[in-house]
Amino acid sequence: MSKSFEVVLKKVVDNSYNIEIGENLFGSLIRDLQQGLLPDVSKFAIITDSIVEPLYGRPLLELLRRSGFQADLFSFPAGESSKTRETKALLEDQLLSQAYGRDCCIIAVGGGAVTDLAGFLGGTFGRGVPVLNYATTLLAAADASVGGKTGVNTPVATNLIGVFHQPRKVYIDLAAWHTLPAREFRSGLAETIKHACLADETFFRYLEENIGRIISEHGEPILDADVCGHIALTNCRIKYEVVEQDEHESNLRQILNLGHTAGRALEAVSGYQLLHGEAVAVGLVIQARLGVKYGYMTAEQADRVVSLLTKAGLPTEIPDYISNRALMDKMYTDKKVRGGRIRFVFQDGIGEMKRFADGSYSVPVEEAEVMELLEEMRGN
Ligand SMILES: NC(=O)c1ccc[n+]([C@@H]2O[C@H](COP(=O)([O-])OP(=O)(O)OC[C@H]3O[C@@H](n4cnc5c(N)ncnc54)[C@H](O)[C@@H]3O)[C@@H](O)[C@H]2O)c1
Ligand SMILES: O=C(O)C(=O)C[C@@H](O)[C@H](O)[C@H](O)COP(=O)(O)O
Ligand SMILES: [Zn+2]
């Protein structure tokens, strides 16, 4: 005879944390540690990439050591192609060989590839150690450093393996945007426009009206301090307001995946020639145009999305070297796929998301209809 028992796991973990936005926040990070942010931690592992290492990783390491903390730095080659299980394993072995254990803290210093990889490592090392995110790109500030989605890419597609592991604090260093290449800055604008599309029409209008204060005609970042501060704060507010309601993406959080059903597929099929934000920009256009077909937004609203992306110096068309078939096939690796059917999330006009009759924010789409749209976007 079988017996059954209920395992009662009342929520015992409070995953709340602060996001600090400002310039040159190393001093603030040190103060937090001195004031007991992580009282059980005795060793700090800075994880960063090869480009960020000399700019921000080493200076933080030196400051930590000068302030009396035991710390080391672990670096991997910059770029999306390093965001793999192999890199994670190499870093883990380095930490283990230096006697890192459960009393350590991971400090991720860099862009989204670093916070995703280091966050995943932090979520599994010793079954989970605290992580601090120090965001040095607009994309990480706007999106990746907040919300606790961590993971790595596999040869099949992006972000397929990972865990939800919330950071203990997020530092958004606006001064770091001054060393960021223009193309990377524009990539971060794509997630910014995504947030405006999905949650905040006023922010969308702000971006439309102020794009000339954000990006020059030649696509260079302008970096007006007030504008940058407003962009960082608004992105973080939009994101955490969703995450605090649905941390593990049971439904509402899917709205943060706007533009990503096609976007992540494009990113993978391009062999990472497209940056994450660039792929998301094209993905936003695909969902907007498809949304017009389904009656979720008007053609004029979709044109506003395309126009804002264009003014931000982002691509809005599928590159010629990617076939519709390859793109379509890759969409089946999306995490929203259910029962073998691709699902999209859609804008409801500008600044709101479509919620469907069953309460879900994502909906299955007919492959033939997506294919038809892709053909139209190619002008066929
Ligand atoms: N977890 C999430 O919620 C989430 C959200 C959005 C994107 N992402 C992930 O984030 C990644 C993209 O983020 P990203 O664009 O920040 O990537 P990234 O970390 O690869 O950074 C982009 C490039 O900029 C360099 N860089 C970083 N900061 C710099 C600085 N201040 N000055 C000069 N160079 C600098 C990096 O070395 C890298 O070459 C993707 O892997 C994507 O999947 C995750
Ligand atoms: O935080 C989220 O939730 C997001 O979906 C944010 C996305 O911008 C981000 O690219 C995320 O990593 C994509 O998640 P995935 O589950 O589609 O891999
Ligand atoms: Zn994204």
18-180 placed in CATH 3.20.20.150: no
Cβ-contact 105, 80 below 8 angstroms: no
pLDDT > 90? residue 298: yes
CA-to-CA separations, 166 to 82, 315, 350, in angstroms, rounded? 22, 32, 29
Binding positions for NAD(+)? 112-116, 136-137, 149
pLDDT > 70? residue 12: no
If DSSP codes are grouped into helix, strand and coil, which group holds residue 327?
Answer: helix
Q: What CATH code is assigned to 183-245+252-377?
A: 1.20.1090.10
Residue 324's Cβ-count burial label (10 Å; 0-12, 13-18, 19+) is middle
pLDDT of residue 273: 97
pLDDT > 90? residue 9: no
Structure tokens at 119: 């966050």
- Mean pLDDT calculated for residue range 283-295: 98
Atom number, ligand 1, closest to the C-alpha of residue 191: 6
pLDDT of residue 6: 86
If DSSP codes are grouped into helix, strand and coil, which group holds residue 316?
Answer: coil
- ipTM of this complex: 0.99
Ligand 2 and 75: CB distance under 6 A: no
pLDDT of residue 2: 85
pLDDT of residue 8: 84
CATH 1.20.1090.10 residue ranges of the chain are 183-245+252-377
Question: 348: Cβ–Cβ under 8 A, 6 or more apart, which residues?
Answer: 296, 297, 354, 355
| CA 326 – ligand 2 centroid, Å | 21
The residue whose C-alpha atom lies closest to atom 7 belonging to ligand 1 is 144
Q: How far apart are CA 123 and CA 96, in angstroms?
A: 15
Ligand 2 and 335: CB distance under 6 A: yes
- Mean pLDDT calculated for residue range 241-257: 97
Cβ-contact 134, 171 below 8 angstroms: yes
CATH 3.40.50.1970 residue ranges of the chain are 18-180
- Mean pLDDT calculated for residue range 186-205: 98
**Shortest-distance ligand to the CA of residue 251:** 2
Ligand 2 and 235: CB distance under 6 A: no
On average, the pLDDT of the chain sits at 97
Atom number, ligand 2, closest to the C-alpha of residue 257: 5
pLDDT, tens only, 228-237: 999 999 999 9
Ligand 1 and 279: CB distance under 6 A: no
Ligand 1 and 176: CB distance under 6 A: yes
| CA 255 – ligand 3 centroid, Å | 11
Ligand 2 and 83: CB distance under 6 A: no
Binding positions for Zn(2+)? 191, 260, 276
Ligand 2 and 58: CB distance under 6 A: no
pLDDT > 90? residue 108: yes
Q: How far apart are CA 251 and CA 255, in angstroms?
A: 8
Q: How far apart are CA 331 and CA 329, in angstroms?
A: 5
Out of 120, 239, 257, 343, mutate this one to test ligand 2's pocket (max ligand atoms within 8 Å of CB): namely 257
Cβ-contact 255, 242 below 8 angstroms: yes
- Mean pLDDT calculated for residue range 312-331: 98
Atom number, ligand 2, closest to the C-alpha of residue 334: 17
Share above pLDDT 70 across residues of the chain, in percent, rounded to a whole number: 99
pLDDT, tens only, 250-259: 999 999 999 9
